[in-house]
Structure formats: structure tokens, C-alpha cells
Homo-oligomer: A and B are copies of this chain.
Amino acid sequence: MPEKNRMSERRRQIVQFIHGYLREHGRPPTVRDIQRGVGVASTAVVKYHLDRLEKAGYVERAPRASRGLRLTSKALSWLGAAADEPVSSVVRVPIVGSIVAGEPVTAYPTFDADVDTLELTRDIISDTENVFALRVRGDSMVDASVHDGDVVILRQQEEANNGDMVAVWLEDDQETTLKYFYREGRYVRLQPANPAYEPIIKPAEVVRVQGKVIAIIRRLAA
């Protein structure tokens, strides 16, 4: 079976060329620049790969604008070109996956090349140690306060204080959920943000805190 995350050599070539051209000329290349740069005979080939790269989130484009091309942070980190950005209060955070009912959050990963990343600034997260992001998928662990498609930023930790919003793995239900955390003796009360929902009360030993939510970002259709 073909590796799912393998990006074709041609695509890597193109991203690399764009990056080089940008550094050299101070403007993005045209489709035909890329065509010559990577050595293909048709502009349609370039267009084809740019479409794929855009869909994969490596490139953003301004339709019909000449040189309307920009590399995303994902592409830059993919190139290992993070050295591009100097000082900057920009922080790159890995998106380790999605919250899906039935699966635990995977262990905090090393910075693999093709881990999806999210760029944030220190205006949003002040500290970057052990910070990671999760994309919320589906409604299973969601109440009115967190929606499908939201990105939650978490700091990895096993303990939580009362009132913290945490991602927890429930051993017995075999699922991850986002809730407010309250310790009550040998039990843990998991309180949905929406007061209309009933709290979940579990023995402490089946509740595994995976991380504490430090920010929630919701992007609406632009």
C-alpha cells in the first residue's frame, strides 16, 4: 500500500523552487517560472501540482492574481526552513491529531517532518513548553462551548486543578472528551461548559488527564 503521507518528489521540488525564487527575487514565481525551474513541458503540470499542494495546505493562492502564491508555515517547516524566521514571537505548535471518540490522544509526538503544525504568537500562548493542538472532530465530546472544527491548544500534563478545562481519557468508555475538571474525593466530576448538560462523575482511577486547555480557537468561514 502506498504511504499516505508521502509527498511526491515533484511536489517537493516545486515547494523548494518557490522558496528559493522568493528569497532570490523577493516575489513569488509565476507558473511559467516554476515550469522552467523544475523542468516540465507544460504549465498545466505546474497548475496540477499547485492545486494538490494547496489542498494539502502547503501553498495558499490568490485566484487569478499573478504570482498570487505563498508558502504556508507548514511548507516552510516541511522544508526545514524554519531558520527563515528570525526573532519573532511566532511559535510553532504541532497538531497531534483530532479528538475523536473512541481514540485516546496519541502520545506527545516528536517533531516529525510531516506533522501538521499551527503557527501562533505569544499573544495567544505565553508559554510553549509541551504545548500541542488538537482539532475537534464530530460532536461526541462536544458541548455548546466547543464546536466541530475548533482547534484547542493544550499543555500536556497529568494533573489538573479544579476548574481547569482538560482533555481526559476515560478508561471505561474508551473515549476522550473535553470537560471542566473537579476533584471530589475519590471521584472526579467532569462538568460540561454548557450548564444544560449533566456532569459526568467517574472514579478517579478511570480518568486520565491528557492535558489542560489553555486556548480555544474557532475559525469561521472567511
Interface positions of A (Cβ within 8 A of B): 22, 25-28, 30, 60, 62, 66-70, 72-73, 84-90, 118-127, 144-145, 147, 155, 164-165, 193-194, 196, 212-222
22 contacts between A and B (CB under 8 A): A25-B70, A26-B28, A30-B66, A67-B67, A72-B89, A72-B123, A85-B88, A88-B90, A89-B90, A90-B90, A119-B122, A119-B123, A120-B121, A121-B121, A126-B222, A144-B144, A145-B145, A164-B221, A212-B220, A214-B222, A215-B220, A216-B217
In whole Å, how far is A21's beta carbon from the nearest beta carbon of chain B?
11
Q: Verify B70–A67 contact, CB threshold 8 A.
A: no
Q: Verify A127–B28 contact, CB threshold 8 A.
A: no
Known contacts A30-B66, A66-B67: A121-B218 contact under CB 8 Å: no
In whole Å, how far is A55's beta carbon from the nearest beta carbon of chain B?
15
- Once bound together, how far apart are the Cα atoms of A85 and B89, in whole Å? 9
- Once bound together, how far apart are the Cα atoms of A67 and B26, in whole Å? 10
In whole Å, how far is A137's beta carbon from the nearest beta carbon of chain B?
18
Known contacts A66-B66, A127-B222: A86-B85 contact under CB 8 Å: yes
Q: Write out the residue numbers on chain B whose beta carbons fall within 8 Å of the beta carbon of A196.
A: 196
Q: Write out the residue numbers on chain B whose beta carbons fall within 8 Å of the beta carbon of A155.
A: 222
Q: Nearest CB to that of A215 among chain B residues?
A: B219
- Once bound together, how far apart are the Cα atoms of A73 and B26, in whole Å? 13
Q: Give me 16 other A-B pairs in contact (C-beta within 8 A), A124-B219, A194-B194 excluded.
A: A27-B68, A30-B66, A60-B126, A66-B66, A67-B67, A72-B122, A73-B121, A85-B88, A86-B86, A144-B193, A164-B220, A196-B196, A214-B221, A214-B222, A216-B216, A217-B217
